[in-house]
Amino acid sequence: MTKRLHDKIAIITGSGRGIGRACALRYAIEGAVVFVNDINADNVAKVTAEIIAAGGRAVAHHCDVTDPAAVQALVDHAVKEFGRLDVMFANAGGSMPKATHLTSVEEYRNVVALNQDAVFYGIHAALPVFMRQKSGLFLTTASGAGQNGVADLAAYGAAKAAVINLMRVIAVEYGGMGIRANSISPGPMGTELMRSWLATMEGGADAFEAQVPSGRLGTEEDIAVAAAFLATDEAFFINGVCLPVDGAVSALLASPRPGKPL
Ligand SMILES: NC(=O)c1ccc[n+]([C@@H]2O[C@H](COP(=O)([O-])OP(=O)(O)OC[C@H]3O[C@@H](n4cnc5c(N)ncnc54)[C@H](O)[C@@H]3O)[C@@H](O)[C@H]2O)c1
């Protein structure tokens, strides 16, 4: 049986670990050639080797995606080697929570540089390639913090909201040329970091997890499965969406709830 991403050429930024790594492994299993990108060169080498050892195809390319010239070189690398590019997946991102009044202008700019500007650099570099091909998918890992307000995540939330809309604009502007642009919005993830942080909170991880309608925290593989599906040809008509992969957390009504009767 032909693999769903057979021979697709995909760049996944921030794929040296976490969600990006899981997406890189999944894409390779589905038949794609994955350009593994991260600022951490050791992790790029590790994930690339992991994919190749499992019989997949991967190319290592480490760089800092907040540098537009470096992102252009990343796209050029893929096009030079394979003559095309099918998926530009801007996944690198993240931020430490901080109260807004304590956030400096420089800290704000750094978070926006990684979570918002770098996504545009990928679009800027790959759009001419996609236009020439009359095909291609832009994908980005957004966040629930970009869909609704989350305290202490002003810069991150603003940047993630911006990229959700950036993808919509690209879909509307270039959909007629066979180009797609979508985002994925992960819900609360059961990463090691998240679990150890939750352990310091009242009720711990269990109390937190119990509030997720689907009954558990997300996994990196949950995101990877969605990201792979969106890259298939069958998903052609899915364009300009922000897909929550969050166990129905974003479907919950955000409203004050009445207490028990007196
Ligand atoms: N984990 C979550 O709970 C969660 C929830 C919602 C959204 N997200 C988003 O998902 C994406 C991946 O998150 P994760 O949890 O896997 O994070 P992670 O920190 O485990 O992985 C992010 C990767 O990006 C790389 N990176 C950071 N700066 C870079 C740069 N300038 N250039 C290139 N690579 C860089 C890091 O080295 C790291 O390998 C991020 O965009 C994040 O905002 C994560």
User: What distance lies between CA 175 and its chain's CA centroid?
Assistant: 20
pLDDT at 218: 97
Distance between Cα 1 and ligand 1 center (Å): 33
Domain spans in the chain, listed from the N-terminal domain onward: 9-189+220-247
Write the CATH number of the domain with boundaries 9-189+220-247: 3.40.50.720
Q: What pLDDT is attached to residue 257? A: 83
- Spell out which residues line ligand 1, taking CB within 6 angstroms: 13-14, 16-20, 38-40, 43, 64-66, 91-94, 114, 141, 143, 186, 189, 191, 194
Q: What is the pLDDT of residue 73?
A: 98
State the distance from the centre of ligand 1 to the C-alpha of 105, rounded, in angstroms: 21
Average pLDDT rounded to a whole number, residues 178-198:
92
> Per-residue pLDDT for 74 more than 80?
yes
Q: Are 140 and 92 in contact (CB under 8 A)?
A: no
pLDDT at 1: 62
Q: Is the pLDDT of residue 120 over 90?
A: yes
Name the 3-class secondary structure at 81: helix
Choice between 205 and 46, residue whose per-residue pLDDT is larger: 46
**Residue 186 has which token pair?**
């992960």
Q: Could you give the dihedral angle defined by the CA atoms of residues 70, 76, 81 and 87, in that order, rounded to the nearest 10 degrees?
A: 90
Q: Give residue-wise pLDDT tens across range 90-112.
A: 999 999 999 999 999 999 999 99
Burial label for 213, CB within 10 Å (0-12, 13-18, 19+), is exposed
> For a pocket test of ligand 1, which of 39, 194, 217 has the largest count of ligand atoms closer than 8 A to its C-beta?
39
Mean pLDDT of the chain: 96
Q: Residue 18 C-alpha to ligand 1 middle, in angstroms?
A: 7
Residues annotated catalytic, as ranges: 156
For 15-67, write each residue's pLDDT tens digit.
999 999 999 999 999 999 999 999 999 999 999 999 999 999 999 999 999 99
